[in-house]
Structure 1
Amino acid sequence: MERPFVIGIVAVSGGGKTTIIDELKGRLNSSKTLYFDDYSFEGEVDDFYEWTKDGADYNVWNLEPLKVDIEKLLKETDLEYILLDYPFAYKNEQIRPYIDFLIFIDTSLDIAMARRFLRDYRDASTKIICADLEQYLNGSRIAYIEMLRTIRPNSDFIVNGTLPITKVVDQIIEKLMNL
């Protein structure tokens, strides 16, 4: 019996990972999802600016809880796909061996930010929104650039994240069927 096929989905925050994974789950037979943001990790980085300036070592994150859940799902005999919302592509040594195919949703930073603000700050005060924008400009933007510089080219398939969701998912499914 073959094990489930693990598909990693990568994008910057606001790039469309969750939306695309949810749509894929509805269209792929017997699939389950794991979302990186559902976990708390040892070694988790608090200051992305410093982490990026120091070389962006993806292995400082201890991703053992995610690894354990992937291993559990890999043992499910009736499962065909594991959809993994995961930001590190093949860069973390703990998770790299489990990923069969990695998709990067290429969404421009301005569109990703607009989506993030519509998602996270719909009812927020101007003060909170301005504070987040300052944090982005003064530090976290460098981590987004790092992702575009190192994660994007480290992916197996790059899809345009500005296309309508159905078109993105159609392209992904077509690519998967041709593997």
Structure 2
Amino acid sequence: MVKTKVITIASVSGGGKTAVTEELRKRLSTSEALYFDEYDFEGAPDDLVKWVEEGPDYNQWNLEPLKADLESFLEREEPPAYIIIDYPFSYKNDKLKDFIDLSIYIATPLDIAMARRILREHLKKTSIEINDELDYYLKFGRVAYLEMENAIKLNSDFIVAGTLKVIDIVDAILNKIETL
């Protein structure tokens, strides 16, 4: 019996986590995917900027619901060969770190990530609302992005350029998976 490989995909918001997770799921036979953003976690900070400024405690997030879903995949009579998790913390949360076989970080330049967020989330917003969002990012929010760059990227097993096309990112990840 082959052990299920758990692969996490991290990046800043707008960095390509979800697109890469979805494409990787399609290309890996017998795989399942979990998405961090689909959960409401007890203990999650209301203010991410304040959380980062105070010295982020990744264990503050109670990831029990995500862990339970991961364990349910692993406990199946025929578990998937791969579980891919769109998950921003790499090995930083104690509840999940022992499950992870490979932590991927998509290194997307912050300007590209911000442009993607604006295109994705602000289609019907006014230019004033978009301006306010960018102003907030520059004054406060950027510290959360830099935390990802400084803590999560360095804590990952494999770093891939977020400037590549999704298909090329997935190809690089698949090549890395072959070495597991």
TM-score for the superposition, normalised by structure 2? 0.96
Q: How does 1:1-179 map to 2 (within 5 A)?
A: 1-76=1-76, 77-179=78-180
- Aligned with 2:159: secondary structure? strand
Looking at structure 2, the residues matched to 124 and 95 of structure 1 have their Cα atoms a distance apart, in angstroms, of 37
Residues paired across the two proteins, number: 179
- TM-superposed deviation, 1:174: 0.8
- TM-superposed deviation, 1:78: 4.2
- Aligned with 1:95: secondary structure? helix
Consecutive unaligned residues of structure 1, counting only runs of 5 or more, are none
The amino acid of 2:121's aligned partner reads: D
Segments of 4+ moved more than 6 angstroms: none
Consecutive unaligned residues of structure 2, counting only runs of 5 or more, are none
- Residues 87-142 of structure 1 show CA distances to partners (whole Å, capped at 9, x for unaligned) of 01100001111111000000000000001111111221123212221221222210
- TM-superposed deviation, 1:49: 1.6
TM-score for the superposition, normalised by structure 1? 0.96
